[in-house]
């Protein structure tokens, strides 16, 4: 699906031209364009080469199946950025990561992503109410896209907070193997997310301090603000990793303690029946034994067995073994 927005700078109007009208609009000097390619078909993707004439290596990065690492390539007339949209799925306890490829030039921004992303949806809804940011230059359009994607990181973290608290409550109530697997899944996802966000911080830092003509001086501060946000996010990620690691250690400690309690109980029970079993085994032998011919012999043996059990119970209790 392709969505095209064209902002007429002179008239201050926003239109949605068709893909056939795009080449003529692109050649105009008084129009800023935002083209969004969401899960594009092969025919729609052809505009990257036929209309905008982007470098083949950048187009190859867009169409590649693997998720690329965040980066910023300078092709003189335009920038090519690789960024990522992140959405935390509470049901599966994993991070849905969508690569966002962006081309940014003097009068255009082109976004390319293989799946729907929350940030782009929010920006399109915003355009239905106000178009002011479209009139402040293409670098402001780029900032709006990146800023919303970073904001979605924070929304995902709010959901992550609840999931971690829920798992922690499970640990102190009814911990199971599934609980540990969920913790392991979270930790693996957080480590992977940290690996992805680290280069993004560098990309935003370059945009915020760039002397390139495409970045207006007054808009650098906005990118620097996004850089501060993503730096804080990276710090929170490390805190989450440590929190999940600590929760895993707590799970292991509680599970080990409960297993030790069970083993201790079994040991106490086994020890209590040890002497009565020994006595029963001896009196099962075909030899002459005390009380064997006594009419109260059976009662005496049973009494001795019970006394030994009571004595051991008293001893274990005194030692606080149960």
User: Which tens digits make up the pLDDT trace of 4-29?
Assistant: 887 777 777 777 777 887 777 777 77
pLDDT bin (cut points 50, 70, 90) of residue 180 is confident
Token readout for 7 is 């902002």
Q: What is the pLDDT of residue 289?
A: 65
Give the C-alpha separation, 314 to 60, whole Å.
Answer: 78
| Span 258-299, pLDDT tens digits | 777 777 777 777 777 777 777 777 767 766 667 666 666 677
Q: What's the pLDDT score for residue 292? A: 66
Greater confidence (270 vs 191) lies with 191
Residues contacting residue 322 through CB under 8 Å, at least 6 positions apart: 264, 265, 268, 316
Cβ–Cβ < 8 Å for 35, 110: yes
Q: What's the CATH code, domain 2-255?
A: 3.30.460.20
Instruction: Return the CATH architecture of domain 273-318.
Output: Up-down Bundle (1.20)
Instruction: Give the rounded percent of residues in the chain with a pLDDT score beyond 70.
Output: 93
- Helix H or strand E encompassing 15: strand 13-15
Global pTM value: 0.71
Query: Does 110 score more than 80 pLDDT?
Result: yes
pLDDT tens across 220-261, in order?
Answer: 777 788 888 888 887 888 888 887 787 777 777 777 767 777
Q: What is the pLDDT of residue 295?
A: 67
What gap in Å lies between CA 138 and CA 79, rounded to an integer? 12
Q: How many Å apart are CA 268 and CA 109, to the nearest integer?
A: 74
Q: What are the sequence ranges of the domains in the chain?
A: 2-255, 273-318
User: Comparing 2-255 with 273-318, is the CATH topology the same?
Assistant: no
Q: If you average pLDDT over every residue of the chain, what do you get?
A: 78
* Residue with the two structure tokens 């392709």: 2
């Amino acid at each position: 699906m392709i969505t095209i927005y064209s902002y007429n700078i002179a008239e201050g109007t926003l239109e949605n031209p068709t893909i056939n009208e795009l080449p003529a609009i692109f050649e105009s000097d008084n129009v800023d364009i935002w083209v969004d390619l969401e899960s594009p078909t092969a025919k729609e993707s052809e505009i990257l080469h036929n209309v905008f004439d982007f470098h083949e290596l950048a187009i190859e990065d867009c169409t590649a199946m693997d998720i690329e690492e965040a980066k910023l390539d300078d092709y003189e007339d335009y920038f090519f950025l690789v960024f990522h949209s992140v959405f935390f799925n509470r049901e599966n306890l994993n991070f849905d990561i969508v690569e966002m490829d962006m081309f940014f030039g003097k009068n255009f921004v082109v976004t390319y992503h293989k799946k729907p992303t929350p940030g782009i949806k929010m920006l399109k809804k915003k355009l239905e109410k106000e178009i002011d940011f479209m009139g402040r230059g293409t670098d402001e359009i780029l900032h709006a896209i990146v800023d919303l994607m970073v904001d979605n990181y924070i929304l995902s973290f709010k959901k992550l907070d609840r999931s971690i608290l829920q798992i922690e409550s499970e640990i102190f109530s009814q911990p199971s193997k599934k609980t540990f697997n969920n913790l392991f899944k979270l930790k693996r996802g957080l480590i992977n997310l940290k690996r992805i966000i680290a280069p993004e911080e560098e990309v935003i830092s370059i945009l915020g301090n760039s002397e390139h003509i495409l970045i207006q001086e007054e808009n650098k501060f906005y990118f620097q603000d996004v850089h501060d946000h993503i730096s804080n996010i990276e710090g929170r990620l490390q805190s989450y990793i440590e929190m999940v690691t600590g929760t895993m250690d707590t799970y292991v400690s509680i599970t080990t303690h409960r297993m030790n309690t069970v083993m201790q109980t079994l040991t106490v029970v086994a020890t209590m029946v040890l002497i009565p079993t020994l006595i029963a085994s001896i009196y099962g032998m075909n030899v002459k034994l005390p009380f064997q011919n006594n009419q109260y012999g059976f009662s005496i043996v049973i009494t001795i067995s019970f006394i030994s059990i009571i004595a051991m119970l008293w001893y274990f209790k005194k030692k606080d073994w149960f």
